[in-house]
Homo-oligomer: A and B are copies of this chain.
Amino acid sequence: MLKDCLLKLEKNKVKVTPLRCRLLELFHASDAPLSIPDLQKRLEAKGSRANKTSVYRNLELLEMAGVVEKVSVSDESRYYELMERTHHHHLVCLSCERIFDIPIQETKLLQTVDAFSKKLQFTISRHAVEFYGLCSKCQGRKISRKAKIRVQSH
Contact = CB atoms under 8 A, between A and B. Distances in A.
Interface in A98-145: 100, 102, 104-106, 108-109, 112-113, 116-117, 120-136, 139, 145
Nearest to A35: B75
Given A121-B139, A125-B94, A129-B109, A116 B104 contact: yes
B135 A120 contact: yes
B133 A124 contact: yes
A5 interface: no
A104 B109 contact: yes
A70 B105 CA distance: 25
Interface residues of A, number: 42
Given A75-B77, A77-B75, A125 B121 contact: no
Given A60-B145, A104-B109, A105-B112, A125 B133 contact: yes
A62 B78 CA distance: 25
A136 B112 contact: no
B93 A104 contact: no
A105 B73 CA distance: 21
A151 to B, nearest CB: 15
14 contacts: A72-B75, A72-B132, A75-B77, A102-B113, A102-B117, A106-B106, A122-B131, A123-B133, A125-B132, A125-B133, A125-B134, A126-B133, A128-B129, A129-B129
